[in-house]
Amino acid sequence: MRDLVESFSWASARSYEWVQTERDPGYLPSYWAGLTDRPLFYSRDLAHQMLGAHLLGLDAENFAMLRQFAGSSNGDRAWYPLWAFEFDGTPAAIDYHSDDDFVREIPAPFELVEKAVEQYRWTADDRFLRAPEIASFLRNTMTSFVDAHDPLGTGVAGEQGTGDIFRGTATYNEVERPPYLQVAADGIASQWAAHQALGSVTGAVLDEEFAAWNRGRAEELGDHFSTSWWLPGDQHYAAGFTAEGPVGGFRLESTWFPAVKGIMREDQRLSAHLGFLRSGLEATPPSNIEAFTYLPEAFFRYGWDDEALRWMRFLAGSRADYPEVPFTHVAHVAVGLTGLQPGTDEGVVHTRSHLPAGEWIEVGGVRVGGSIVGVRHEGREATEFEVTGGPGVTWTSAWDDGHVFTVDVPNGSRVRAGADGSVVVLHEQR
């Protein structure tokens, strides 16, 4: 994995170079999130760069930029947030002409909702959910926004199928070809993920009635996707629907977002769709490097680790300057390969190795909730987990044979677990 050590160093350094926070006294805490010839931050790019940014200590930037987007959503804009901002918080003129004429794509607001919850999990900073602008945005997106954008009457947010991003599109696929989708798989997957995320938040930080409603909606959307979006003749999930019915074929984001978000259930259809995705990427690869940055997540989520590692190395080898490439590479290495994730219960941290046999990786100094943790995987055979700051965590380690090991790890302790079920405390707090 030496090549990934080198690419991680490159990605970390390059990501920091995109930070704009102290470049001008009038700038928001922010980093570049968009094309390199546009000094702006975009909602779609931000959503995808936030995890890497957190791992690099850019929580103030994540919060300021998220709050900027959240505050731009209102009834005059049909509850869409704006698409892009300059670093001082001015709407990007290239993408915003008026409240009736600006770039808008259905998945973006849902991704921002999901990522607000994700950042709350990683940071334990309840401002990501409770800051007034964000709290209103979370609720309005899942209610008023969906009500205003339901072209097929199914409860799935979408658009009118014009293919014009300034009038609104159902998909992130900006090279979409006719028939133009009214609801898209990347839209429903992002909407489901937002409901799922909000439904996982309990306690005083979020109204329990609202959380329960989101859990119910996530279940309904998951059932709807499973029963209505599968195309038996094509052996993959639909890219979306028009008023005339489902649309199949390989359609970039609409094909891989169900895997990225995890809306697909783990049955024989899952393998068929991932195989279709892999074949589509071989036959008609995307023309833009940004598109490839989603693929490691799509394949890691369902355990297609060799395919995920293939696309990680492709991205690392590109050394592409597009900010999304280095930011997401940081996350793919530190989180994708290790399976390091905050649990839905406070103080719980999960890991699962995605390494090839005979390889190892170690990451440390990662803030998860109120603690600082580190993890070392030795292939799929052994994992060491440590807490070096904060109150300590409950560590849950998943293994290939399906068993899950759970142990409390206080601050100052390091524990080693093996695939054979063995557990050794290497260092205890004194």
Q: CA angle 285-266-243, nearest 5°?
A: 65
Q: How many whole angstroms separate alpha carbon 128 and alpha carbon 274? A: 33
Beta carbons of 83 and 91 less than 8 angstroms apart: no
Say what the pLDDT of residue 430 is.
54
**Long-range contact set of residues 138-144: C-beta below 8 Å, sequence gap at least 24:** 138/70, 138/113, 138/198, 139/210, 140/73, 140/79, 141/73, 141/79, 141/109, 141/110, 141/112, 141/113, 141/194, 142/113, 142/194, 142/195, 142/198, 142/214, 142/217, 144/75, 144/79
Q: What is the DSSP string of 202-213?
A: -STTS-HHHHHH
Count the Cβ atoms, other than its own, within 10 Å of residue 57. Answer: 11
Token pair listed for 347:
């103080």
Count the Cβ atoms, other than its own, within 10 Å of residue 408. Answer: 12
Q: Looking at the DSSP assignment, which residues form a beta bridge with residue 397?
A: 351, 405
| Closest to 253 measured CA to CA, from 194, 365, 368, 169 | 169
CA trace torsion 68, 69, 71, 74 (10° rounding): 160
Say what the pLDDT of residue 426 is.
84
Beta strands in 30-94 (DSSP E): 41-42, 84-85
- Neighbouring residues of 116: CB distance < 8 A, sequence distance ≥ 6: 66, 70, 128, 129, 134, 138, 197
**Region of residue 340 (left: phi > 0; alpha: psi -120 to 50; beta: else):** beta
Say what the pLDDT of residue 204 is.
80
C-alpha distance from residue 356 to each of 164, 342, 377, 380 (Å): 44, 23, 10, 7
Phi, psi of 43 (to 5 degrees): -65, -45
Q: CA angle 67-73-75, nearest 5°?
A: 155
* pLDDT tens, the chain, 430 aa long: 778 989 999 999 999 999 999 999 999 999 999 999 999 999 999 999 999 999 999 999 999 999 999 999 999 999 999 999 999 999 999 999 999 999 999 999 999 999 999 999 999 999 999 999 999 999 999 999 999 999 999 999 999 999 999 999 999 999 989 999 999 999 999 999 999 999 999 888 899 999 999 999 999 999 999 999 999 999 999 999 999 999 999 999 999 999 999 999 999 999 999 999 999 999 999 999 999 999 999 999 999 999 999 999 999 999 999 999 999 999 999 999 999 999 999 999 999 999 999 999 999 999 999 999 999 999 999 999 999 999 999 999 999 999 999 999 999 999 999 998 888 888 766 5
Q: How many whole angstroms separate alpha carbon 355 and alpha carbon 35? A: 32
| Closest to 298 measured CA to CA, from 227, 354, 374, 348 | 354
Say what the pLDDT of residue 423 is.
86
Q: What is the pTM of this model?
A: 0.97
Beta carbons of 168 and 175 less than 8 angstroms apart: no
| Closest to 20 measured CA to CA, from 45, 43, 40 | 40
Say what the pLDDT of residue 124 is.
96
Say what the pLDDT of residue 385 is.
97
Alpha helices in 155-207 (DSSP H): 185-199
Beta carbons of 41 and 112 less than 8 angstroms apart: no
